[in-house]
Every structure is written in structure tokens, then in C-alpha cells.
């Protein structure tokens, strides 16, 4: 295919209706997804960004919405326009993410309150002191970057997206550091028992 044919295909995709693009997407022409993303990606991202107040999380939601459009045949044209469907999907996913973050914080706060109400026995205090010392030693065996991720997640209650934003690193890096650190901690703590 020459450059003129390529330009003509791109121009025809840009002028195609949403229904035509969805039909070609269902027929396996992934290029149609790119055209739909160019049409509605900014709309989905902007809405998610307004709800979540996070660029990274809005990007995740946008990616998730378009992956859903590609992999699931859930859109029904008789129920409204494609843009409306994408907006409803983005709004729903963003609110779900917000709820899960709020739920995580509430569970953490309840746990802190429960722990504050329990008065430990001297044996409990000795056990906690010993465990605390082993945990500190295990944490000291981690690299600084791994320790930052673990401490931010478990001591401050930050989500992985919040950690990525705080340290200005990709979300995938946070996830891999967290996995590596937890694996090292488990091995260190198991050998110290």
C-alpha cells in the first residue's frame, strides 16, 4: 500500500460513522479503535481526571474504557450514542476507583481504631517488640527504593497510583518494586523464625 492509499484509508476512517467503525472493529480491524480513540479519548480522559484528580488514574481509566470497547461487545446503539456510552463507562469506572480508594482508607482507619482500644499484656508487648525488631531488620535489608514503596503503602496507606505520583515513577515500577520487596521480606522473616 502506497502513501496515497494510506492517507485515503485514514481520511475515510476519520469520516466514517461510529457504527461503521464499530462494525469494522468487530470484524477485527483494530485501526478503527485508534480512530475512535482519537474522537473520544480526550472526552473520557477529561471526565476521569475531573472525578479522580489524578493524571495517572485518568490515563488508566481511559485505557480501560477503550480496552473494554475493543474486547467486549457491550455497546448497544439503540440505548444511545457511542459517546454517551463511553462517558457513562468512564464515569462508572472512575467512581468505582474512587470508592475502592475510600474503602481502603476506611478499613485502615477502622483497624487503627481497633488497635487503639486494645490494651496489650506484658507478654503481648514483648512479642510485639520482638516482631517489630525483626520487621525493622527485614526492612533494612531492602533497597531504598523498595523500602520507600513498602513504607508508603503500609505505613501511610497510599495506593500504588498515589505512590507512583508521589515519587514520579511509572505505576508498573511501583508494582514490581512492591512485589520484589514483599518477596524479600517474606524470605527474611521466614528465615528469622
CATH number at residue 146: 1.10.10.10
Angle between helices 31-52 and 55-71 (to 10 degrees): 140
105 within a domain of the structure (yes/no): no
- Residue 191: is it exposed, middle or buried by C-beta count within 10 angstroms (0-12/13-18/19+)? exposed
Please work out, in degrees rounded to the nearest 5, the angle formed at the alpha carbon of residue 111 by the alpha carbons of 170 and 100: 40
Report whether 148 contacts 109 (CB < 8 A).
no
**Same domain membership, residue 86 and residue 35:** yes
- Look at phi and psi of residue 169 and say left if phi exceeds 0, alpha if psi is from -120 to 50, else beta: beta
Asked if residue 109 is part of any domain, the answer here is no
Asked, for residue 106, whether it belongs to a domain, the answer is: no
Indicate the residue among 100, 129, 155 that finishes a domain. Answer: 100
Query: Residue 166 corresponds to which cell in the numbers above?
Result: 508521589
Q: Residue 52 belongs to a domain with what CATH number?
A: 1.10.1740.10
Whether residue 31 lies inside any domain: the answer is yes
Domain containing residue 76: 3-100
Domain count of the chain?
2
Q: What is the pLDDT along the chain (193 residues), one digit of tens a residue?
A: 444 444 445 555 557 889 999 999 889 888 999 999 999 999 999 999 998 888 999 999 999 999 999 888 777 777 888 999 999 999 999 988 888 877 767 777 777 666 665 666 777 777 778 887 888 888 888 999 999 998 888 888 889 999 999 999 999 999 999 999 999 888 888 886 6
133 lies in some domain: yes
Amino acid at each position: 500500500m502506497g502513501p496515497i492509499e494510506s492517507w485515503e484509508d485514514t481520511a475515510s476512517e476519520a469520516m466514517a460513522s461510529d457504527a461503521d467503525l464499530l462494525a469494522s472493529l468487530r470484524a477485527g480491524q483494530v485501526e478503527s479503535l485508534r480512530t475512535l480513540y482519537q474522537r473520544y479519548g480526550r472526552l473520557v480522559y477529561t471526565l476521569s481526571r475531573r472525578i479522580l484528580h489524578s493524571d495517572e488514574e485518568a490515563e488508566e481509566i481511559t485505557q480501560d474504557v477503550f480496552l473494554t470497547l475493543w474486547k467486549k461487545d457491550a455497546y448497544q446503539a439503540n440505548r444511545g450514542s457511542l459517546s454517551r456510552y463511553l462517558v457513562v463507562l468512564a464515569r462508572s469506572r472512575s467512581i468505582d476507583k474512587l470508592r475502592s480508594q475510600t474503602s481502603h482508607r476506611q478499613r485502615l482507619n477502622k483497624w487503627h481504631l481497633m488497635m487503639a482500644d486494645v490494651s496489650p499484656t506484658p507478654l503481648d508487648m514483648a512479642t510485639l517488640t520482638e516482631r517489630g525488631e525483626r520487621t525493622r531488620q527485614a526492612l533494612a535489608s531492602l533497597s531504598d527504593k523498595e523500602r520507600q514503596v513498602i513504607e508508603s503503602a503500609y505505613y501511610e496507606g497510599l495506593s500504588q497510583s498515589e505512590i507512583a505520583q508521589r515519587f514520579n515513577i511509572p505505576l508498573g515500577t511501583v508494582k514490581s518494586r512492591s512485589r520484589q520487596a514483599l518477596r524479600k521480606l517474606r524470605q527474611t522473616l521466614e528465615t528469622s523464625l
